[in-house]
Every structure is written in C-alpha cells, then in structure tokens.
A and B are shown apart, each in its own frame.
Chain A
Amino acid sequence: MTSSPRLFSILRQGTCLIASIHTALDDSQLMVFQRDLVERIGRDRARGVVIDVAALDVLDSFATRTLRDIAEMARLRGAATVIVGIQPEVAFTMVRLGLHTGAVSTALDLEEGLAVLGGRLAGPAVGGR
C-alpha cells in the first residue's frame, strides 16, 4: 500500500505491532501511515502498538495530533499504544511549542516500549479476549 522506497514499516512481534517511521512524513503520508496501522491492528489482532519515531528530527503539531489520534483509534480497536524514540531536541521543542502526547505513554526506545506494553498486557488482558 505504501510507495517504494518505504517511508515506514509495520512489523508484527507476538501480539504487538512495531511501527517504525523511517523518514520525515508529510501530512498525506501521515494519513496513509495512520490508515495502514489502524487497519493492521484489526487484521493482526494486535493488543499493543509501538510507534518508533527515533528517525525523526522534528515532530510538528499535525504529526503529534496524528499520533494521538492513532493511539485513540488503537484503543478503540483494543490495542494500547506507546510512542518511543523521541529525541532530546525533539522532546524539548515539542514542549516549547506546547505539544504533548496527551494520554499516550512514551518510552525511551523500542525495548522500553515493548517492556511497557508487556507489563500492561500481562495484567487484565490475560484471558480478556
């Protein structure tokens, strides 16, 4: 569904999806990303999503809102979302601009993000579905 070269990848790891953004996406590419990811959550019956933004050196208001929207949609489709890999400069710029990820959790990197999801899914999710 994406054009080559790939701008992002969505991989499956157990009950989690790992969505990595490889390069800066423009607004329409972000919408494609959102559509693909939300669709994959249903198709793969994912319980958790890790969105890795480590490659991005800027996160603007639209990108931040899209990430929040994705997390909310994922929650409605039964998956918890963690955003990982926000770089120090990006983090501070976001705060300066008044951007925040709302209720979405954040973690340092992919490993941390999976650990956060693992901890969350191990609780009430066992036997939940």
Chain B
Amino acid sequence: MTTREDGDVTGSATTDSAPVRTTEEEGLLPQLVAHLREHRTRLREEWVGRINGAHLLQAMTASEMVAETTSVYDNYVEVLETGSVEELQHYARDLSERIIPRGVETHEVVGIVLLLRDVLARSLFEKYQGDMHVLNRVLDAYEPAANRIANTVAVSFVDERERVIRQQQDSIRELSTPVLPVRERLLILPIIGVLDRERARQLTEQLLTGIRTHRAKVVVVDITGVPDVDEAVANHLVQTVDASRLMGASVIITGLSPEIAQTLVTIGVDLSKMDTIGDLQGGLEEAERLLGFTVTRGGEAGGP
C-alpha cells in the first residue's frame, strides 16, 4: 500500500508496513475507537487546522468544512470500529460527486485523509507514549485500517471522477455529429474532430436514420474539421456511402484535406464510387443541382 505525504505533514508515527493483525490486537481497537470518540471535537478541530494550514479544500466555505469534516471523521472512526469500508465508500462517492464540480483535485482529497490519519496517530501516540509496548500494538492495529481507509477514499474519488469524464465523453459524442436539414430533402453532417472507430459507427447510425426521418435525397458530409483518418475509418465511410445509396440517397463528401486525400490514396481505399467535392460550398451547390434547386441573388432579375 502506498501513501502520499504532503510537504508540511510531519507525521512521524506512520509507516507503510501493514503487519498481520493478531487476536490480541483486535482487543485494542475498541479501546482506540473509544478514545477517538471521546476527543472527537478537539481532534476534528486540530484536523481542520492542519487542512487550512496545508491550503487544502480552499473551494469550501467554513461551515461546509465543519459539516464535511465531521462526517468524514465519524465515518473514519466507524470504519476503524467495524472494519467495513462499504459505508465509507458510499460516503466518499457521494462527497466526490459534490466536490468534483467545484474543482477539488485528487491530491486534496488524498491529502485531507492522510492528514486525519496523522492527527489521529499523533493523538494515539500522546496517549500511549508512556508504554512503548502498548503503543506499538495500538499502532499495529491502527495503521492497516487507516491505510485501507485512505485507499478507499482515494479510489472512490478517482472512480467518481472517471464516471464524470465518461459521462461527459458520451455527451460530447452525442453533440459531435449533428444532422442538419438545410433544404427540403438535403442534409448536412459537419464532422469536427478526430474520427475514431466509435464515432464513425455513430456517424453511420445518425446518417442512415437521418435519411429516413428527413426523407433525404442528398447528404453532404463535410470533413473539413477532421485532422486524419485511418484505413478502418476510411472503409467505414465508404460503406456508409454505399448503405446510403441503398436507401436511395446520394452522399457528397466535402472538405477532404490534402493529408486525408494522401492517406486515402496511399492506403488504397477504393473511392471510385465516392462523390467528393472540394469544399462545403461546392458540395451544397452540387446538392442543389441534384435536387433541382436554383439559387438566385435577390437583387438580380428573376431566375430562369
């Protein structure tokens, strides 16, 4: 188990060793928990002082700090008592959910838990310093439990953050391939950003269902904003165009960058059936021609 110490944490009573717990040491835990419960207010305040001293959790107001530290403290002691981290896990996830949007970093969360561990270790040290033998056994009982708690909180926090990131990725994905009807039966799909396999799959789905819902005859897929494609994605694109044709729509690809054009030619993707036009403007003009639209400037004499 690895722990991380902040610069100004001077905890001397902590080691990374996790000795095997014996039945004799089990008996010490209730005693230890009772001690921590008894001095709850004093220890908690000392802890908050250390947190402020280390400039952690600056995003929180003083009253929030009191509320959160009290809950963390109680949960901490509870875990020491019962040895079950489930409750704490739940609480840590809940806490993470509240503080992640406020920009609290991983090192802060780990930092405060380690500070609490040190504050409590100190207090145990003071209480038992008269008898080295008992102190050793108390710390043997305390340290593995404390390390497990630090680990649980850190993992829960990171898990929660990853969950948030995944959620955001999903929503970015959803927003990233809009299907825009510009004229009757004409759709535009502007694609911006890297086109990976998953996004290419999503593009296909959006395109084909878009054709059906909007009854599109022509679709312009603009890939000006795509930096690069690989062979799998290029083939996928070709298949999408073929599938669109089966649904009775023509696809025009616009905005192939020189790099992509070179990649496609080099890897030998069969693009003979693809309809490509230099830029979106040209693509729209071609699409309008296919659909029989003629666009005329208002000032000029009436169209044909």
List 17 other contacts, CB 8 Å, given A92-B204, A92-B240, A94-B246: A86-B247, A87-B212, A88-B211, A88-B247, A89-B208, A90-B246, A91-B208, A95-B242, A100-B242, A106-B248, A107-B248, A108-B211, A108-B217, A108-B248, A112-B248, A113-B248, A116-B248
A100 to B244, CA, bound (A): 12
A101-B246 in contact (CB<8A): yes
Indicate if B215 sits at the interface (CB-CB under 8 A): yes
A18 contacts the other chain (CB 8 A): no
- Give chain B interface residues in 241-275, CB to chain A under 8 Å: 242-249
Q: How would residues 199 to 215 of chain B score, 1 for a CB under 8 Å from any chain A CB and 0 otherwise?
A: 00000110011011001
Q: How large is the interface on B (under 10, 10 to 19, 20 to 34, 35 or more residues)?
A: 10 to 19
Nearest chain A residue, comparing its CB with the CB of B209 = A88
Query: Which single residue of chain A is at the shortest CB-CB distance from B206?
Result: A88
Q: A94 and B212: CB pair below 8 A?
A: no
| Chain B contact residues: helix, strand, loop or mixed | helix
Residue of B nearest to A90 (CB): B246
Provided the pairs A91-B244, A95-B243 are in contact, do residues A108 and B205 lie with their beta carbons within 8 angstroms?
no
Contact of B208 among A88, A96, A109, A112 (CB under 8 A): A88
A-side interface size class:
20 to 34
Docked pose: A119 CA to B45 CA in angstroms: 85
CB distance from A118 to the nearest CB of B (A): 14
A94 touches B247 (CB 8 A): no
B211 touches A84 (CB 8 A): no
B108 to chain A, nearest CB (A): 47
- Does B129 count as interface, using CB distance less than 8 angstroms? no
A88 adjacent to B248 (CB under 8 Å): no
Neighbour of B215 across the interface among A90, A105, A108, CB < 8 A: A108
A88 with B205: CB separation less than 8 A: yes
Q: How far, in Å, is A105 (CB) from chain B's closest CB?
A: 8
- List, in ascending order, chain A residues with CB within 8 A of B244's CB: 91
Inter-chain contacts of A112 with B (CB < 8 A)? 215, 217, 248
Give residues 158-209 of B contacting A (CB, 8 Å): 204-205, 208-209
| In the complex, chain B residues whose CB is within 8 Å of the CB of A88 | 205, 208-209, 211-212, 243, 247
Chain B residues contacting A91 (CB-CB under 8 Å) are: 208, 243-244, 246-247
- The residue in chain A whose Cβ has the minimal distance to the Cβ of B248 is A107
Report chain B residues within 8 Å CB of A101: 246
Q: Looking at the assembled complex, report how far the CB atom of A115 sits from the nearest CB atom of chain B, in whole angstroms.
A: 10
Contact with A along B206-231 (1 / 0, CB 8 A): 00110110011100000000000000
